[in-house]
């Protein structure tokens, strides 16, 4: 036994003596330790990690050890260590794009993302260039979780970050920051080619630095600066975008044959008799379609039945949308050219860029041009003192034909729509008249024997008779002085000024229908002579608006690392801002384009309207003046602390004051704050053996931000107007809303918990976040008791509770020679009304056009979707049946005014689940990218037939073909029968009933892009070039509704867009 023990001891001693210990330290290029570096041998069986000081100790039996050093965000290194080497310093180089290198711009400071406790998203330049376009915000769609685009209203794009936190749509969007200050100009001024990155600040800790304006999140746009290296760099890019014409056939309109069928039905019922045989004023102001006019002529014996039948057969095959596309629409296209020159020397750097865009719109005559020039400079006066400056000028010029016929044209004369068999040209391409404002036969009669100007309306000849031109100039200057008195301390003062002017001129030329109509209406005819109360010539409207804004900010910061363990970052400062907007408008008559002269008219007296078409009236005036101020004063402090690069703490406090709130000083000020914690769990010693884990960070924040968009009025608002008529020549004043000195600032409390992770050298990275929001003291116009003398007043009326999840997953992997990157963005956001002190109105306000407004209802989500309960069609006559007081009913007038509590609630019209999937494939010099977007969990109300609208306004719908016609049809349709006379309440009930509520779920192919990049040299200079093809708005891949509708758009969806371009860097 003793011999065995002795032998074992000798063997162990020999083993210990044979081991070699290798010691060293892992640092970055600046010499800063890199803790948590994974160190492994060739076969990966043994793994250790560097400690908090970046130091490591490796034991091996051999005198030489070949080790692999790996850390997320750095290039891997394989190093051979020798017994004789001693203590070794290993330097790892940063990757070109790394997690640790990512800098988030809050608008006040650059913050490393890995040290942040708040919720941020960074969209880099490569992602921004996935799609083309001249609007920077539209390039963000689908690139980030939490950011949602609402395009349901025609021509409008509303953005929200993590849902809606206010009741006022004008305040629901995020705050937009450009280079450290809220952008005061039109966003269309910003050239996307000038933008380097976009940071999205989502929670209170991230956005609270912006205080009372950050309740809906903040989008920080950072422009490009000069080259980082000491060199001269040139860049040129050119892009050509071409879109398809709008798809007018998307709308489920009533076809011509069915429309004529309805007209004959109404004619046989005598629907038109009262107006046709009524007083001259009624008949002459009522528009009839050609078929109805023809039927009356047949009734009067002026034409035979065979003529009527042939004309009906011919017109029944016409669809005016084909001719409309050819005559009044153009193929949209945009040309973009961009040039940039940057240079850097020892003490001076500068970047100068210029851009020119030319865009042709959907409609004939629509054109927009944009010119940008921007200079960003930095001068290092001393090692401690530097000056930065920005000068930018943007000019936009647009023109259009404002009175051009289109798919939504309102012809007047009691009609909102045009009959579907309208024709604009005959077979010889001569212009044909269509009715507008007045009875066509009446106007034709005037053309034959009246000395007035031709009163007929020829849409094909109207092209160019009215022209609108607008010019927008935007100037920005920013200067920043930076002083670093000691290491780690910086003092900064920045002054920013913006000035924007907008001028719009709308000219109705003398031969335009608008001018001819107005001149004729006021003309007085006596003995064949005409006295023109409105002078002959053009009518010109002019509008101008100017905005002047300035910001002044002074702040100091201090950053220091103590004992290689403690990092502290302190930022504090104050700022003031002022914005003044002035606008004015006026009109002139008898305008001559050549001499630029106009004539004086009498706006005071009322004049008779020709042939008694209307009562006496004044000549329309268009004068107006307006001025508005917005002022803010703010003080803030932001503190960040890190211990051993593992434990983080942040605190932010801000106090804002505004002229929009409170009469008392205490009410004008609004204190806001936030706090956050973070923990890099992957750097803990018990995680050191998990070589596959590169990052595991937990963070949590709590804080308050606010909304202040200008809807508050602590003082009464008074509106002044000109005298009503010559009998009352006095000015008129009316108090619009009463004073409310007790108004409070809107407050948004946010709790955010997040997890960031990365594994296997970035093969999989991602973040998962949960948030809870509580928005209190929300402002809204609320109805008042009519006995007060006021209709509405601004009040704090509601509290909203919002909850949600944001997930972002990215994976980099290889399949043979293909390098792939997949990114999944997912968001869940639901916002309910927790408290509501406002007025509840009739059920029709919630069910008719449901989901199109925020419409707060207690315990329901915002943008709520309601519907009347539907109990099927009456088998006897096809009447729609509903529910009233718990019973099946056809009391339509009572049902449409029923309480909201008796309506069926579906959910929200704003998608609570949304996101995108981005797939990128790289092969050699080619890159192919696809972006898919999806939305789930929401509802929308589809349009349907309204017989009263069809009869009276010519607003039809293809559901007419699905209507109940005979007993038994109720088994396979929900569309009611056509009854005469039409019952408006019956139509309103069915239009807002359950059968017309549809699921809005969809999956869309948003973008595809193909890029080819190559490098070449001219002499010693390298050229990087990219050629690309891109397509956008490619359409729906799947939708939940069976009617072929796109729930993202109430009107026509955007047409497909294709782009070709190149980018060259020298």
Pull the structure tokens for residue 510. Answer: 């003398």
Burial of 1018 (0-12, 13-18, 19+ CB in 10 A): exposed
**pLDDT bucket at 1, cuts 50 / 70 / 90:** very low
Instruction: For 489-500, write each residue's pLDDT tens digit.
Output: 999 999 999 999
Query: What mean pLDDT do residues 1040-1057 have?
Result: 93
Contact 505, 399 (CB under 8 A): no
Q: Which of 204, 342, 302 is nearest to 753 (CA)?
A: 204
Handedness of CA 99, 101, 106, 111 (dihedral sign): positive
- Comparing C-alpha atoms, which of 198, 240, 237 is closest to residue 354? 237
Residue 630 scores a pLDDT above 60: yes
* Positive/negative CA dihedral, 989, 995, 1001, 1003: negative
889: closest CA among 869, 875, 905, 903? 869
Task: For residue 336, give both structure tokens.
Answer: 């973009």
**From CA 246, how far away is CA 248, in angstroms rounded?**
6
Which residues lie closer than 8 Å to 267 by C-beta, 6 or more apart? 292, 295
Alpha carbon 852 to its chain centroid, in Å, reads 16
Q: Model confidence over 692-739: pLDDT tens digits?
A: 888 899 999 999 888 765 555 666 667 777 665 556 667 777 776 777
Mean pLDDT on 904-928: 96
Cα–Cα distance measured from residue 177 to residue 218, given in angstroms and rounded to the nearest whole number: 7
Residue range 771-780: average pLDDT?
Answer: 91
- Three-state secondary structure string covering 111-148: EEHHHCCCCEEEECHHHHCCCCCCCCHHHHCCCCCCEE
Q: Which helix (H) or strand (E) holds 296?
A: helix 290-299
Element (H, E) at 70: strand 64-70
Q: How many CA atoms lie within 13 A of 74 on its CB side?
A: 22
> Is the confidence at residue 114, as pLDDT, over 70?
no
Question: Residue 101: its pLDDT value, please?
Answer: 47
pLDDT of 110 higher than 70: yes
Instruction: Give the mean pLDDT of 229-254.
Output: 90
* pLDDT over 90, % of the chain: 61
CATH 2.60.40.1120 correct for 19-91: yes
Query: Percent of the chain having pLDDT more than 70?
Result: 93
**For the chain, what percentages of helix, strand and coil (3-state, to nearest 5) are there?**
15, 45, 35
Q: Note whether 515 and 199 are within 8 A (CB).
A: no
pLDDT category of residue 40 using cuts at 50, 70 and 90: confident
| Distance set, CA 50 to CA 32, 36, 80, 366, 532 (Å) | 13, 5, 17, 64, 93
Q: Residue 587 in 3-state DSSP?
A: strand
- 818 by DSSP, 3-state: which? strand
529-578, pLDDT tens digit by residue?
999 999 999 999 999 999 999 999 999 999 988 887 899 999 999 999 99
The candidate with the shortest Cα–Cα distance to 371, out of 390, 397, 345, is 397
- Stated as kind and residue range, the H or E segment containing 378 is strand 367-380
pLDDT at 955: 94
Q: What pLDDT was estimated at residue 942?
A: 96
Averaged pLDDT for residues 319-323: 94
Q: Which of 242, 565, 541, 294 is nearest to 421 (CA)?
A: 294
**What is the β-pairing status of strands 997-999 and 64-70?**
unpaired
pLDDT digits (tens, 9 = 90+) for 164-219: 988 888 788 888 888 888 888 788 888 999 999 999 988 887 777 787 778 888 89
pLDDT band at residue 7 using 50, 70 and 90 as cut-offs: very low
Exposure of 504 by Cβ count < 10 A (0-12 exposed, 13-18 middle, 19+ buried)? middle
| Contact call for residues 144 and 767 (beta carbons, < 8 A) | no
As a whole number, mean pLDDT of residues 321-350 equals 93
Three-state DSSP class for residue 42? coil
Whether 370 and 337 have beta carbons less than 8 Å apart is answered as: no
Closest CA to 184 of 543, 706, 632: 632
Alpha-helix runs per DSSP H in 939-1002: 947-953, 984-991
Radius of gyration of the chain (CA): 35
What three-state secondary structure class fits 19?
A: coil
Question: What is residue 181's predicted lDDT score, i.e. its pLDDT?
Answer: 86
- Which DSSP letter does residue 415 get? B
Q: Give the residue among 990, 982, 995, 994 at the shortest CA–CA distance from 949.
A: 982
Closest CA to 757 of 825, 694, 676, 683: 694
Bridge partners of residue 643, in order along the sequence: 566, 647
Taking the C-alpha atoms of residue 619 and residue 534, their distance in angstroms, rounded to an integer, is 8
Main-chain phi, psi angles of 289, to 5 degrees? -75, 165
Q: For the segment 500-523, what is each residue's pLDDT rounded down to a tens digit? A: 999 999 999 999 999 999 999 999
Contact 868, 838 (CB under 8 A): no
Q: Which residues contact 386 (CB under 8 A, 6 or more apart)?
A: 378, 379, 380, 481, 482
pLDDT at 399: 95
Which of 84-98, 675-689, 802-816 is most confident?
802-816
Range among 156-165, 278-287, 448-457 rated most confident:
278-287
Residue 726: predicted pLDDT: 54
Q: Which token pair is 150?
A: 């609402």
Q: Kind of pairing, strands 904-908 and 792-815?
A: unpaired
Tell me phi and psi for residue 473, to 5 degrees.
Answer: -115, 130
Which whole number is the average pLDDT over 96-120? 67
Angle between helices 305-315 and 256-268 (to 10 degrees): 140
pLDDT at position 365 is 93
**Which pTM does this prediction carry?**
0.88
Burial per residue of 341-357, b for 16 or more beta-carbon CB atoms within 10 angstroms, e otherwise: bbbbeeeebbbbbbbbb
* Per-residue model confidence (pLDDT) at position 17: 46
What single DSSP character describes residue 515? Answer: H
- The continuous run of DSSP H or E covering 7 comes out as helix 2-18
Report domain extents, the chain.
19-91, 256-318+405-461
Q: Higher confidence at residue 425 or residue 170?
A: 425
* Confidence check: pLDDT of 132 > 90: no
* Predicted confidence band of residue 10 (pLDDT cuts 50, 70, 90): very low
Omega within 30 of 0 (cis) for the link into 981? yes
DSSP 227-272: -SSSSEEEEEEEEEEEEPPP-GGGS-PPPHHHHHHHHHHHHHTTTT
Residue 96 banded pLDDT, cuts 50, 70, 90: very low
d(CA 699, CA 701): 7
Specify the higher pLDDT residue, 840 or 547: 547
pLDDT number for residue 98: 37
For 973-996, the pLDDT digits (tens) are 999 999 999 999 999 999 999 999
Of 731, 599, 707, 608, the closest CA to residue 658 belongs to: 707
Strands 175-178 and 218-223: parallel
pLDDT of residue 14: 39
């Amino acid at each position: 036994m003793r011999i065995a023990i002795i032998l074992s001891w000798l063997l162990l001693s020999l083993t210990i003596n044979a081991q070699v210990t290798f010691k060293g330290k892992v640092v970055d290029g600046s010499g800063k330790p890199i803790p948590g570096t994974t160190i492994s041998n060739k076969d990966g069986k043994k793994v250790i990690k560097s400690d908090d000081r970046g130091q490591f100790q490796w034991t091996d039996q051999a005198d030489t050890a070949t080790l692999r050093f790996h850390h997320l965000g750095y290039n891997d290194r394989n190093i051979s260590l020798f017994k004789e080497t001693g203590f070794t310093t290993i330097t790892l180089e940063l990757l070109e794009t790394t997690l640790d290198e990512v800098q988030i711009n809050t608008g006040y400071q650059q913050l490393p993302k890995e040290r942040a406790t708040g919720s941020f998203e960074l969209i880099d330049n490569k992602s921004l260039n996935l799609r083309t376009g001249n609007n920077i915000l539209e390039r963000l769609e689908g690139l980030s979780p939490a950011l949602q685009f609402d395009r349901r209203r025609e021509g409008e794009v509303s953005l929200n970050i993590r849902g809606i936190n206010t009741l006022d749509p004008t305040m629901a969007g995020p705050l937009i920051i450009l280079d450290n200050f809220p952008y005061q100009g039109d966003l269309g001024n910003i050239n996307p080619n000038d933008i380097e990155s976009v940071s999205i600040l989502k929670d209170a800790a991230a956005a609270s630095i912006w205080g009372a304006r950050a309740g809906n999140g903040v989008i920080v746009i950072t422009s490009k600066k000069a080259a980082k290296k000491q060199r001269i760099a040139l860049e040129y890019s050119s892009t050509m975008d071409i879109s398809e014409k709008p798809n007018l056939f998307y709308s489920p309109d009533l076809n011509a044959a069915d429309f004529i069928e309805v007209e004959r039905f109404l004619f046989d019922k005598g629907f038109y008799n009262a107006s046709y045989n009524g007083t001259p004023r009624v008949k002459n102001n009522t528009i009839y379609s050609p078929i109805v006019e023809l039927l009356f002529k047949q009734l009067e014996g002026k034409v035979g039945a065979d003529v009527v039948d042939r004309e009906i057969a011919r017109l029944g095959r016409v669809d005016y949308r084909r001719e409309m596309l050819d005559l009044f629409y153009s193929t949209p296209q945009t040309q973009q050219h961009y040039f940039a020159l940057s240079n850097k020397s020892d003490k001076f750097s500068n970047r100068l860029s210029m851009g020119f865009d030319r865009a042709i719109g959907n409609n004939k005559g629509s054109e927009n041009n944009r010119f940008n020039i921007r200079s960003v400079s930095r001068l290092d006066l001393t090692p401690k003192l530097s000056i930065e400056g920005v000068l930018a000028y943007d000019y936009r010029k647009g023109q259009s034909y404002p009175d051009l016929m289109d798919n939504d044209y309102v012809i007047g004369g009691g009609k909102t729509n045009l009959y579907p068999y309208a024709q604009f040209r005959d077979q010889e391409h001569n212009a044909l008249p269509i009715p507008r404002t007045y009875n066509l036969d009446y106007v034709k009669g005037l053309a034959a024997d009246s000395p007035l100007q031709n009163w007929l309306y020829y849409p094909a000849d109207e092209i160019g008779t009215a022209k609108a031109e607008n010019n927008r100039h935007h100037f920005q200057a920013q200067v920043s002085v930076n002083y670093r008195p000691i290491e780690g301390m910086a003092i900064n003062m920045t002054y920013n000024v913006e000035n924007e002017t907008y001028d719009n001129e709308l000219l109705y030329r003398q031969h335009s229908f608008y001018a001819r109509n107005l001149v004729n209406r006021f003309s007085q005819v006596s003995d064949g002579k005409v006295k023109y109360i409105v002078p002959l010539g053009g009518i010109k409207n002019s509008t101008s608006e100017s905005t002047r804004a300035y910001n002044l900010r002074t702040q100091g910061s201090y950053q220091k690392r103590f004992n290689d363990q403690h990092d502290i970052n302190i930022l504090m400062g104050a700022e003031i801002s002022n914005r003044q907007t002035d606008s004015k408008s006026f009109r002139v008559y008898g305008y001559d384009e050549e001499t630029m002269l106009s004539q004086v008219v009498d706006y005071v007296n009322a004049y008779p309207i020709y042939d008694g078409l209307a009562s006496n009236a004044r000549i329309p005036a268009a004068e107006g003046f307006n001025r508005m101020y917005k002022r803010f004063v703010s003080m803030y402090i932001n503190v960040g602390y890190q211990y051993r690069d593992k434990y983080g703490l942040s605190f932010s406090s801000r106090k804002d004051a505004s002229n929009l709130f409170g009469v008392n000083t205490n009410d004008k000020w609004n204190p806001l704050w936030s706090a956050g914690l973070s923990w890099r769990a992957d750097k803990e010693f018990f995680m050191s053996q998990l070589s596959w884990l590169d990052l595991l960070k937990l963070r949590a924040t709590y804080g308050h931000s606010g909304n202040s968009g200008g809807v508050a009025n602590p003082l009464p608002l008074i509106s002044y107007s000109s005298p009503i008529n010559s009998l009352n020549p006095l000015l008129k004043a009316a108090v619009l809303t009463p004073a409310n000195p007790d108004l409070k600032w809107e407050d948004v409390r946010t709790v955010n918990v997040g997890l960031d992770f990365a594994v296997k050298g970035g093969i999989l990275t991602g973040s998962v976040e949960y948030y809870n929001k509580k928005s209190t003291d929300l402002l809204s116009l609320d109805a008042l008791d009519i006995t007060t003398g006021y209709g509405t007043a601004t009040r704090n009326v509601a509290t909203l509770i919002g909850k949600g999840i944001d997930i972002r997953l990215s994976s980099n992997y290889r399949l043979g020679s293909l390098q792939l990157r997949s990114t999944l963005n997912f968001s869940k956001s639901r916002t309910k009304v927790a408290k509501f002190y406002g007025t509840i109105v009739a059920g029709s306000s919630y069910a008719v056009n449901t989901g199109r407004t925020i419409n707060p209802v207690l315990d329901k989500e915002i943008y709520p979707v309601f519907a009347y309960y539907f109990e099927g069609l009456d088998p006897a006559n096809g009447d729609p049946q509903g529910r009233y007081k718990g019973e099946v009913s056809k009391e339509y007038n009572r049902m449409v005014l029923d309480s909201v509590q008796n309506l069926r609630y579906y959910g929200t019209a704003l998608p609570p689940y949304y996101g995108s999937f981005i797939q990128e494939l790289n092969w050699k010099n080619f890159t192919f990218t696809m972006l898919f977007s999806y939305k789930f969990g929401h509802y929308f109300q589809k349009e349907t037939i309204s017989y009263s609208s069809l009869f009276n306004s010519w607003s039809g719908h293809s559901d007419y073909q699905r209507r109940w016609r005979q007993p038994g049809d109720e088994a396979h349709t929900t569309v009611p029968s056509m009854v005469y006379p039409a019952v408006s309440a019956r139509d309103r009930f069915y239009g807002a009933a359950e059968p017309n509520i549809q699921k809005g779920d969809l999956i869309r192919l948003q973008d595809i892009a193909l890029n080819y990049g190559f490098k070449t040299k001219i002499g010693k200079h390298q050229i990087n070039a990219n050629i690309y093809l891109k397509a956008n708005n490619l359409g729906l891949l799947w939708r939940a509704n069976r009617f072929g509708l796109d729930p993202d758009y109430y009107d026509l969806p955007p047409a497909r867009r294709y782009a070709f371009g190149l980018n060259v860097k020298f």
